[in-house]
Structure 1
Amino acid sequence: MRIATWNVNGINGRLLILLDWLAAAKPDVVCLQELKAPQDKFPAAAIEKAGYGAIWQGQARWNGVAILARGCTPVETHRGLPGDPSDEQARYIEAAIGGVLVGGLYAPNGNPHPGPKFDYKLAWNERLIAHAKMLYGLTEPVVVAGDYNVIPTDLDVYKPERWQDDALFQPEPRAQYRRLVDQGWVDALRHLHPDARLYTFWDYWRNAFARNAGIRIDHLLLNPAAAARLESAGVDTDVRAREGTSDHAPTWIDLKDG
C-alpha cells in the first residue's frame, strides 16, 4: 500500500497536475492539504473518473483537507481535530482504508511570529498531540500524514540561519514535534533516510527548487503496527519541477501487505 501526502496549494488550479500524478504514481491513499476551495467546489467528479473515492473538508480561499483512496471510498472516522469546538478551520480529516487508519492534517503556519497566528499554531499542535496519543494506542496500523508546518531539525533545512525568524523553525513548535514523535511514532522519511538532506517544500522565489534550497515539513508518522510494515519512503521531486505546480512535492511511504 502506497500512502502519500501532498500540499497541493489549490486543488482546482493544480487539478491537471494532480490527475497526471495520480495516473503515473498510482498511490493507494493520498492526503491532500490546502485545497483552497469551498466544500461544493471540490472536483469530486474528476477525481472519481481517475479511479479514486474521496472525503474532504473544504474552506473558501484557505486551508482544506482531503483523503483519496484508489478504487474505494474512505470510511470517515473524524472530521476536525478534537479539543476546540469553536475552531472552524478545515485542517484535519481521518478515515479507515484497507485496514489502515489514516489521519490527514494541515497544521497552522503560524506566521507572523510572534502574534495570534503563532499562538493558534501552538494551541492547535497541543490538540494534535492529545489526539495522536489516543491514535497511538490503537492496535491497527495508523498513519498521520500531512503538512505539519514544522522543520524538525537543522538537517531538514537548506540554510538554518535563513529560517531563524520563521514560525516553522521556532523552538516551541519544534519541541512540540519532538513530544509528538516521542509518544512512539516513527517519522518514516527520516527513519529510512537518517542522514539525507531530503526536502518536501521549495519557495517559488530565488530559484529555490533549482538550487535545492528546500525544507522538510511534510511528514508521515507511523504507529508500531504501521512501522512494522514500512518498506520504503520518498519524495516525488519531479512533480515540483513542473510548470505551475505546488511549492510542495508529494511525499510517500510503501507499506507491505499485512
Structure 2
Amino acid sequence: MKIATWNVNSIRTRLTHVTDWLTANPIELLCVQETKVVDELFPHEAIQSIGYHAAAFGQKSYNGVALISRSPLEHVDRGFGAILPAELVGDLDDQKRVISTVIDGVRVVNLYVPNGSAVDSEKYIYKLRWLKVLREYLAVLLEQSPSLLVCGDFNVALEDIDIHNPKGREKQVMATDVEREALRQVLELGLSDAFRKFTTESGHFSWWDYRSAGFRRNAGWRIDHHYLTPDLYDRAISCVIDRAPRELEQPSDHTPVVVEF
C-alpha cells in the first residue's frame, strides 16, 4: 500500500499535474493540501475520470484539504470538531485544515498546519494554539485507532538537517524552538518520522521557495511529513520524496512524499 502527501497549492491550477501523477503512480491514497476551493467546485469529475474518488474540506482561495483514493471513501471526518468538543475546538475549524479517513484498517489524518507568518505575530500564536489542539485530537484518535498515519504539510522543519541553511533559523518561522517543541509534544504521543527511517542525511527537501531559484539551487526545506504509530513504522518499507513534479511548468512549490507499506 502506498500513501502520498502533496501540498498542491491550488487543486484547480495544478489539476493536470495531479491527474498525470496519479496515472503514472497508481497509489492507494493521495492526501492533498492547499486545495483553495470550496467543496462544491472541487474537480470531482476529473478525479473520477482517472478511476479515483475524492472527499474535500475546503474554502475559497485559502487552505483546504482533500483525500483522493482508489477505493470509495466510506468514512470521512472533517475538522477537529468531528472528534473534539466544540468548546475545545473554538474557531479553529473556520480554516479548513484537517480531514481523515480509514483505509485498510489504518486511520489516515491529512493536515495543513498553519504557516505562522512571522514570529510572535497573531498567526504565529494561532499556529501554536492549533498544534496544541492537534495533540488533543490525535490522542482521541489513538484511543479509537491504534494504527495511525498523520501526514501533510506541517510547516515545521523539525531538525536543522531539514533546512538547506539553518543559520539563524531560531528567529525564522517554521524553525523556531517553540514551534519545534510544539510539534515534538504531538509526536510524543508515539509517532515517528517515516522518511528518517530510511534517509538520515541532509539535503533532502519537499518545499522550495519560488523566489531566488530555490529549486535549482536545492535551497529547500523538508516540511511535508508522514508520522506513524509503531506498528506502521515497523511495516513501512520505503518513504521517498518525488522531486519530478517540482520540475514541471508552473509547479506547486511542494512535491509529493510517498510512504509504502
Q: Identity of counterpart residues, as a percentage? A: 36
Deviation, structure 1 residue 139:
5.1
Specify whether residues 215 and 172 from structure 1 end up closer, same or farther in structure 2 by C-alpha distance, changes over 3 A only: same
Q: How does 1:29-178 map to 2 (within 5 A)?
A: 29-76=29-76, 78-81=77-80, 82=84, 83-87=88-92, 88-138=94-144, 140-161=146-167, 163-178=169-184
Q: In angstroms, what is the RMSD of aligned CA positions?
A: 1.4
TM-score between both structures, scaled by the size of structure 2: 0.93
5+ residue gaps, structure 1: none
Deviation, structure 1 residue 74:
4.7
Aligned to 1:191: 197
Q: Which amino acid aligns with 1:40?
A: E
Q: Distance in 1 between matches of 2:193 and 2:149?
A: 10
Q: Which amino acid aligns with 2:174?
A: L
- Aligned residue for 1:206, secondary structure, equals helix
- Aligned residue for 2:27, secondary structure, equals coil
Q: For each residue in 1:9-53, what CA deviation from the matched residue of structure 2 results, as whole angstroms up to 9, or x when unmatched?
A: 000000001111011111211110000111211001110111111
TM-score between both structures, scaled by the size of structure 1: 0.94
The alignment covers a number of residue pairs equal to 254
Conserved 8 A contact 1:111-1:166: no
Please state if 1:218 is matched with 2:224. yes
- Aligned residue for 1:68, secondary structure, equals strand
Conserved 8 A contact 2:106-2:145: no
Aligned to 2:245: 239
- Aligned residue for 1:94, secondary structure, equals strand
Q: For each residue in 1:210-232, what CA deviation from the matched residue of structure 2 results, as whole angstroms up to 9, or x when unmatched?
A: 11110010011111222221110
Deviation, structure 1 residue 138:
4.4
Q: Distance in 1 between matches of 2:249 and 2:184?
A: 35
Deviation, structure 1 residue 164:
4.1
